[in-house]
A and B are shown apart, each in its own frame.
Chain A
Amino acid sequence: MIDCNQFEGTSPLLDEKLQGELKGIFGKMETAVTLKAVVDMEEEKSKEMALFLKTAASLSDLLTLELYTPLEAEALEFDTEYLPATGLYKDGIYSGVSFHGVPGGREINSFVLAIYNLSGPGQEIGRGLVKKIQKIKKPANIKVCVSLACHHCPAVVAASQRIAILNPLVKAQMLDANLYPALVERYGITRVPFVILNDETTFTGPRTIEELTGMLG
């Protein structure tokens, strides 16, 4: 494991005002969440990610950060093909939620929502919908490719990750597509949000949590 203390100071992405706002939101957390991140210390984006997560984790006693090298990634349950990668854990169990790339720009919203929804109380959601999500029987992987400036993207990321939190068979990943040109080329991504279901089916544009649940059921 990498010593988090080697990253000094705070992330320039999280200024004092934003830190105050995040503290307020994280103050609503009910149970502890661990952020496990795989970072390649040779890469600037990984270092940026590490400092971002360290700063975010410092804003709540219920948030813990663990940093791993790519060589240690095999022991982790989430997809570490796209680095830097962060998986969210509760009670030592992987939640099915991961972020690939720094969740800056608009994606700070999906990052905060993922923590809030995992830790509880979480966003309000109808009991009928919760039951539908829990009834999903087939394992599913949802990759939501975003650009950090996209204002339609965080809602799709949050919806897919909410499903993952409620059903252990579903994994939901946010990917800052700008960092992964091979992925962009492979799927011909020109618009976002761009969603890849089970590495096969793709679609572009927003979908609600109800629509996504319908696709997986």
Chain B
Amino acid sequence: MAGFIGKEITDFTVQAYHKGTFETVTKESVLGHWSVFFFYPADFTFVCPTELGDLADFYEEFREIGCEIYSVSEDTHFVHKAWADASETIGKIEYPMLADPAGRLASFFDVLAEEEGQAVRGTFIVNPEGKIRAYEIHDMGIGRNAQELLRKVQAAQYVEEHGDQVCPAKWKPGEETLTPSLDLVGIL
């Protein structure tokens, strides 16, 4: 497989801030259900709360399809708590916010900008067996879209269940008819 696709996630143990409490999250915690690892550069920045808040707005829908969200930055879990206490947007987040100050997760997923000590905006969709099924990596200033991420998780789940014998359809009313592509060799 190319890049990260099909790669099993590394063993890890990190602290997390989760709905007002601290907890430990390990590789075992994320097995058995679909997961999204959502890296962002740092707490207390401006673009980050926008996309983390966007993700919080769709969190219930992710949970309905059996997918957990793990946001990850290189801050500590104490800083996550301080940010949640200070920001209304972050305070409403119900998914675990992982703390990766040692950079172990960011290094594994190859999203660590070492000079800054921050993660670039990487998103990784991981199946219940801990294997990466889809990912995207953006530069610092390029935000992401939670609704599109939800669609990707659903698509990954669909392919896992049904295989790749279907074609995703992007409806474009008014589109020109495709040039015919005759391919009946061996059929007639």
Chain A positions near chain B (C-beta within 8 angstroms): 13-14, 18, 21-22, 25, 28, 45, 48, 102-109, 112-113, 116, 123, 147-153, 177-179, 181, 184, 189-193, 204-206
Contacts and interface: CB of A to CB of B under 8 A. Distances in A.
Nearest to A105: B178
Contacts of B187: 109, 113, 123
B171 A205 contact: no
Interface string B149-169: 000000000100011011111
Contact of A189 (B169, B179, B182): B169
Interface of B: 158, 162-163, 165-169, 171-173, 175, 177-184, 187-188
A112 B183 CA distance: 10
B188 A109 contact: no
Count chain A CB atoms within 10 A of each CB in B175, B179, B180, B188 and give the residue with the most.
B180
A195 to B, nearest CB: 11
A150 B169 CA distance: 8
A104 B171 contact: no
Contacts of B162: 204-205
Given A25-B184, A104-B179, A106-B183, 17 more contacts: A13-B179, A102-B177, A104-B178, A104-B180, A108-B181, A112-B184, A113-B188, A150-B167, A152-B165, A152-B167, A178-B173, A181-B171, A184-B171, A191-B158, A191-B168, A192-B167, A204-B162
B184 A191 contact: no
Nearest to A104: B177
A203 B162 CA distance: 11
Contacts of B165: 152, 205-206
B166 A193 contact: yes
Contacts of A102: 177
A205 B187 CA distance: 20
